[in-house]
Amino acid sequence: MKTFTPDTSIASDVIASPNYGERSKGREPDMILLHYTGMPDAEGAVARLCTAGSDVSSHYIVLEDGRILQCVPEAKRAWHAGVSSWAGEEDINSCSIGIEIVNGGHDWGYPDFPLRQIAAVIALCRGIMLRRKVPPQRVLGHSDVAPSRKKDPGEKFPWHSLANSGVGHWVQPAPIVRGEALMLGTISEDVQNMQMALAKYGYGVPVTGKYDAATMDVVTAFQRHFRPARIDGIADHSTLITLHALLSTLPAAAVTTAS
């Protein structure tokens, strides 16, 4: 694919990536997945996402100055999610549109996201949501769908600012207070109830009643997105109240059946 017509007028350029395929069984995308590039500079990130043999790509790259590059047509399946799951679905690449946001990430200083970059992400997401009928609760981070592998876009990403513009699902996080908490090693009905609540929201967590490493990874990912003031993988009062507030504000049809 040498070039193509961009799906949005706000894309400043097309840099076609050879790394893409067809969406499984004609699946229409109804999710937006946000990433950070996690590399030292934008040039290296663009090269990796657009070079044959790297086996990675995304539909869009948003640069620090707010410019937007499109690399894969929205109708095609980009390779950005890897091993991942959400709401029982495991082929996240087939159901999502991937947006890479240029940022060094946790391995390269994790700088703040510039305001003009976030404004561009919001404008891009709003357009995709309208075109593809993506509901707010299906605008997610890579760490949400791959909690044991990924941290991006991370705790500095201003999800609240996106939500204020109609992008993503958000509630004001409950305040952090002292009190009892669920943590690694706990086995109880309360742990099972928490796992069920996380699974209903969409997270891929086994419902076992045991607070194991996989559960801790999911709680940590939840905190990165929805309660970023403290990220420790411990399900304290603030984490649990925030989770239930999110569930209570979901459309009924969006609640996932926990297994």
Give the Cα separation of 81 and 71 in Å (integer). 15
Reply yes or no on whether 100 is catalytic. Answer: yes
Q: Write the Ramachandran bin of 180: left for phi over 0, alpha for psi from -120 to 50, otherwise beta.
A: beta
Beta strands in the chain (DSSP E): 13-14, 20-21, 31-36, 60-62, 68-70, 77-78, 96-101, 139-141
Structure tokens that stand for 258 in this block: 């926990």
| Residues 98 and 33 sit within 8 Å (Cβ to Cβ) | yes
| Residues 63 and 102 sit within 8 Å (Cβ to Cβ) | yes
| Residues 134 and 96 sit within 8 Å (Cβ to Cβ) | no
Which is catalytic among the residues 22, 28, 64, 100? 100
Q: Write out the catalytic residue numbers.
A: 100
